[in-house]
Amino acid sequence: MESNVPTPKPQPLNPAVYLVGAGPGDPGLITVRGRDILMRADVVVYDRLVGAELLDLCRPDAEKVYVGKEASRHAMTQDEINALLVERAKAGQSVCRLKGGDPFVFGRGGEEALFCREHGIAFQIVPGVTSSIAAPAYAGIPVTQREVASSFAVVTGHTKDEEAPPPALPVADTIVFLMGVRALPKIVAQLVARGDSPDTPIALVRWGTTMQQQVVTGTLETIEAEVARAGLKPPALIVVGEVVRLRESLRWFDSRPLWGQTIIVTRAREQASGLVEGLQELGARVIQCPTIRVEALEDYSVLDGVLGELDIYDWIVFTSTNGVEQFWNRLRGRNLDTRALRNAQVAAIGPATANALEQHGLYADFVPESSISDDVAQGLLEHGVQGRRVMIVRALEGREVLQEKLSEGGAHVTVAPCYRTVPDNSNAATARELLTAGEVNWVTFTSSSTVKNFVDAIGAEVIQQARDSFRIACIGPVTARTARECALEPDAIAPAATVQSLIDVIR
């Protein structure tokens, strides 16, 4: 979307290789230093277990190179990765080598750093949160606990030669095996052979710290059968020791109210962060499928015209947070601020819009309890807009009901469009695939346009075929009415037209 305020570009890094620990999967666990380098690097060379959300932090012009490794399938060999890092750095580029977990904890970061040193390439190490600690923590298993475990060890469960004997087991109260799912029978046999009790508790944590986290617990005697029953596959780590018994008391991540629920959010990305974060905080796996995209107008003549005569308006009505931001962007482009509004009173439709105004130092004189156009118009008329000049700041495609009702009530209304919304099908294929597979629990709608565009993007037939497997939540009665018109009966309707109310009704 167009803005008159330039977005500062990240300062370039010095040409070098930066070995950055991305953390165990949860994008929020990357360090501040790691995030800073990721946002500034010319080239990002990343592994299989790096969360996709982290790649969104890269510069738009950054080159992203996938070098992930999976059993028997390598995008690049280690020698090729080493050569790539050196090649890019010698070309004068800054290279962020983004590695899952910590670069020096079974991450081959030492090998890559030594290769850089041998070829005269400067490098830096940015430690990351290792999965050996984080994944058990997200499963409610502390690797140490007073009076239970005063030591822990981290061991690789994977050897290059599958026929080779496993490495000697360390003496520690807690042992964490990384990359050991396929070697589980050998690990169990080795532990029993050294004298560990068959009742020793053991847990496997798959995709730890992510919304796909899966935990299987048992004992040395039962764990292989439990893993087979759960169908657990790599990637996963293994935790052995008495601390595993604490899981039921300390379980937190996968016991939240919406854990296991997959929820599609159809709101535009520019507006979806509050809804996405709120649902994720409650444990939901959120799939963003924006059905609309906010774009700049091709012609700002109407908005520029009203900005040139703000002193004639008695009321300015802001209908959305997007409207607030674009109005202010255009205002700042004229070197103006809130003083330009003079004595105009301000209405904000919805608390989110009111909060957006407050960010610019402006407090709304009227925030209607309902966002339905008829109710908003009635409230404004009760505030005495008859015979007054009223400006409505909205999208180009906004509904005409508010304007018509105010005009019928005697107000002199000017509509000032400051952005437009267009259909967005960027993630429709993913949503369609999940719906068809019956893997979606909820679809959320936050406006009539999200309903209509979702049906157009996914296909009415696909939605109806999957309809029995998911529920629909709408943000208010207007959106619910549109859903019904599209043969999608809502299962839940937020009583207030707010993101928090929508989250609450799903919960």
Q: Which residues are catalytic?
A: 47, 69
Cis peptide before 234 (omega within 30 of 0): no
Q: Are the beta carbons of 187 and 169 closer than 8 angstroms?
A: no
Q: Tell me 336's DSSP state.
A: -
Pick from 28, 65, 61: nearest CA to 46: 65
> Which long-range contacts link 340-344 to residues 24+ away (Cβ below 8 Å)?
340/307, 340/310, 341/310, 341/316, 342/310, 342/311, 343/314, 344/310, 344/313, 344/314, 344/315, 344/316
Instruction: Let me know: does 178 contact 155? Beta carbons within 8 Å.
Output: yes
CA gap 265, 473 in Å, rounded = 10
- At position 244, the amino acid (one-letter code) is V
- Residue 169 phi/psi, 5-degree rounding, is -80, 140
DSSP, collapsed to helix, strand or coil, labels residue 343 as coil
Judge whether 455 and 289 are in contact, CB under 8 Å.
no
The answer to whether 421 and 448 are in contact (CB under 8 A) is no
Terminal alpha carbon distance of the chain: 33
Give the whole-angstrom CA distance, residue 458 versus residue 461. Answer: 8
Are 263 and 272 in contact, with CB atoms under 8 Å apart?
no
CB-CB neighbours of 363 under 10 Å:
10
Buried-exposed string 323-337: b where 16+ CB fall within 10 A, e elsewhere:
bbbbbbbbbeeeeee
Taking the C-alpha atoms of residue 166 and residue 162, their distance in angstroms, rounded to an integer, is: 9
Cα 448 to Cα 34: distance, rounded to the nearest angstrom: 40
Say if CB 41 and CB 58 are below 8 A apart.
yes
Residue with tokens 């040395």, as numbered in its chain: 220
Q: How far apart are CA 383 and CA 392, in angstroms?
A: 16
Indicate the length of the chain as a whole number. Answer: 507
